[in-house]
Structure 1
Amino acid sequence: MNDKPIRVGLVDDHAVVRAGYRRFLELGGMAVVLEAGDADTAYAALGREDSLPVDVLVVDLELPGRSGLEFTRRVRSRWPEARILMFTMHDDSGTVAQCLRAGAAGFVTKSSDPEILVEAVQKVARGQTALSPDVERRLEQAGPAPHAALGTREFDVLNALLDGDSVEAIAHRLRLSPKTVANYQTSIRQKLGVATAVELLQYARHHGLRQ
């Protein structure tokens, strides 16, 4: 990145979290040039420029409205050169695989020390892949979870179901028909080996998708 500071965008719905990590990133010699509390606001801010105004986007997975995963796909579709680091509470192998498949260059958990995030941003800015140590251990210890094999839309529907959204609400949120969402719901249950909403929630808790 030559002598210029790494330009970072923070996308997280908790202002206190953004403020805390902005301080650590700036102490690491970086410049936080974009902050947003949701995916649509962040995308609009990026879109005001002809070229991508940041070197690295640090994105929370769980955002109001569009998820961090949806945002990652959308950004990478418009700006294939975008470098995105996922920053989340989750560390399950299936979610990590889904994020990397979507185009994320790294995955750091919020339980990591701030220095880990700073180092990860530096790696991603250099074009490298960055995983926090706890994620690396999880990937080494466990093979891919069944939800790692879900299609991108299936994974979106899965997360919406785990948020407690109805089929109609999911259809509106993902711009799909209710029938399509219902079909995805059926295929998700088949692939994950669950038959009911309760079993789906148990699966999510077992694999760290939800607390």
Structure 2
Amino acid sequence: MSQETIHIAIVEDDNEIRQTLTLIIDGSQGFSCKHSFPDGEAAINAISADSRIDVVLMDIDLPGKSGIDITRYLKLKCPDLDIIMLTVQSDDDSIFESLCAGASGYLLKDTNPADLLVHIKEVFNGGSPMSSHIARRIINSFRALKNPLSDRETEVLKMLSKGLNYKEVASEMILSPHTVKTHIKNIYSKLHVNTRAEAIHKALKQKLI
């Protein structure tokens, strides 16, 4: 039984990178580079639901519209199209904007060619491949969302939960009482509470301390 061929399109403005990716894909059994585009507008004009493209490798820094904008447009046009961002960008905004735009995966350009093919097959089979560095960034961001308190605010709340008053907390943390009160005010605001008891109760319930 012959292996099903995965048809791929590349959107990359760097000619050398685009050509290298094309050679890697076309030189590997089960993979075919159907199209390669130097910019997003060319991809928009060529890709449709009838294009028989399974996976798009999308750069972010493109001339004209960004790869994130192109991803958003293509997903509206072709909802079943799988798009993997292949980029040097590893900042939180680029990662989350790409995923919100509809990207199914996010890889860095230093991904090993053999691993890249594995990831293409993974997304084709319904997965969401991520470079390990990107996955760590996402996990850390979700942890931050779970706990809205800063490390210093968490420490202050832990001490309050042990029965220390403002002055004792200030002494323990080598802070001024005014700074401690500012931290507590921020804690109340972030946890949407009005008293020390409510703050401690909510923090314990949500396992923030």
TM-score using structure 1 length: 0.62
Tell me which residue corresponds to 1:38. Answer: 39
Letter in 1 for 2:15: A
Letter in 2 for 1:25: I
Letter in 2 for 1:44: N
Q: Which stretch shows the higher mean deviation, 20-29 or 120-129?
A: 20-29
Displacement of 1:137 after TM fit? 2.5
2:13 maps to 1:13: yes
Tell me which residue corresponds to 1:70. Answer: 69
Tell me which residue corresponds to 2:120. Answer: 121
Give the ranges of 4+ consecutive aligned residues of structure 1 lying more than 6 Å apart after TM superposition: none
Letter in 2 for 1:87: L
Q: Report the secondary structure of 1:130's partner residue.
A: coil
Counterpart CA distance in 1 for 2:55 and 2:103 is 10
Task: Tell me: higher relative CO, structure 1 or 2? Use CA pairs within 8 A at least 6 residues apart.
Answer: 1
Displacement of 1:52 after TM fit? 3.3
Tell me which residue corresponds to 1:103. Answer: 102
Q: How many residues align?
A: 143
Displacement of 1:132 after TM fit? 1.2
Displacement of 1:104 after TM fit? 0.4
Displacement of 1:138 after TM fit? 2.6
Counterpart CA distance in 2 for 1:119 and 1:65 is 30
Displacement of 1:86 after TM fit? 0.4
Counterpart CA distance in 2 for 1:136 and 1:76 is 22
TM-aligned CA distance change 1:79 to 1:12, over 3 Å: same
Letter in 2 for 1:20: T
Tell me which residue corresponds to 2:88. Answer: 89
TM-aligned CA distance change 1:97 to 1:129, over 3 Å: same
Larger radius of gyration: 2
Tell me which residue corresponds to 1:4. Answer: 4
Tell me which residue corresponds to 1:131. Answer: 130
Counterpart CA distance in 2 for 1:128 and 1:61 is 21
How large is the Cα RMSD of the aligned pairs?
Answer: 2.1
Q: Report the secondary structure of 1:86's partner residue.
A: strand
Q: Which runs of 5+ in 2 are unaligned?
A: 146-209
Displacement of 1:90 after TM fit? 0.9
Counterpart CA distance in 2 for 1:135 and 1:118 is 18
Counterpart CA distance in 2 for 1:142 and 1:3 is 39
Q: Report the secondary structure of 2:118's partner residue.
A: helix
Counterpart CA distance in 2 for 1:77 and 1:142 is 27
- Give the share of equivalent positions with the same residue, in percent: 25
Counterpart CA distance in 1 for 2:91 and 2:114 is 22
Displacement of 1:134 after TM fit? 1.9
TM-score using structure 2 length: 0.63
Counterpart CA distance in 1 for 2:16 and 2:111 is 17
